[in-house]
Amino acid sequence: MEEFIRKLFDDPEMLRMGHAQRKEDLNLGLGGIYYSLGRLLRPARAVCIGSWRGFVPAVMAKSLLDNAEGGELWFIDPSLADDFWAVPEKVAGHFEKLGVPNVRHFKYTTQDFVKTEEYGSLGDIGLLMIDGYHSAEQARYDYLAFLDKLNEHAIVMFHDSTSRLSSPIYGKDRVYEHTVFRFVERLSQTPGLELFTFPQDRGLTMVRGRPDSLDRINAEF
């Protein structure tokens, strides 16, 4: 595991994006939670929506690889911020270099991914990370798109769940506000769900259970 972390942190980009990482002591920060949950839940399949340079999908995939179940990480990112995830061969090589060949990338938005055959066959998800476009509306769409595909013990994670900032990641002419915290508030008011938030850095909220009703979730923001 130490060798994996050293290789991961050789790329300074893996120390960005608000996961409370620290290279000096090889501290994964919130990544320790992503890894531990994968080891604890032992899912055959986990899903990660969005990533800047692959920190979260790599750590999640490593946890599945270290289990005996041969789990696979499905990574959904349309490469809208830049072209880093645009070329399949480069994406595969990126994760193989990190020692996690069990990452399967889909260059789609969630809205487009739900139209694919792969989505139709997908099920039994044990761990889901939602870390794509950080609006309350998109976080809700991502959550509902996979809700019926989660297994009974699944945990859903929302990154940037406490941050309230303006992001220029898609360009200076497309600055937008992070509002995931507003959707997390909705979930906290929904019977049937349990939530726990880590406030470190930009925040991480874990959700388990199934909502008794979607009325509050689907209400207008």
Residue 176: what pLDDT?
86
Structural domain boundaries of the chain?
A: 30-218
98-119 confidence digits (pLDDT tens): 999 999 999 999 999 999 999 9
For residues 202 and 162, the answer to whether their CB atoms sit within 8 Å is yes
40, two tokens: 């604890």
Whose tokens are 């990126």? That residue is: 94
What predicted TM-score, i.e. pTM, was given to this entire model? 0.95
Average pLDDT over residues 177-199: 97
Q: What's the pLDDT tens digit per position in 137-184?
A: 999 999 999 999 999 999 999 999 998 888 888 888 889 899 999 999
Rounded CA-CA distance 6/13 in Å is 13
Question: Strand (E) positions, 124-180?
Answer: 125-130, 150-159, 166-167, 176-177
Count Cβ neighbours within 10 Å for each residue of 100-135 and write b for 16 or more, e otherwise.
bebbbbbbbbbeebbeeeebeebeebbbbbbbbbbb
In the CATH scheme, what is the code of domain 30-218? 3.40.50.150
Q: pLDDT tens-digit profile of 67-108?
A: 998 899 999 999 999 999 999 999 999 999 999 999 999 999
Nearest by Cα to 141 from 132, 151, 152, 150: 132
Distance CA 55, CA 194 (A): 26
pLDDT, position 165 = 85
pLDDT at 30: 98
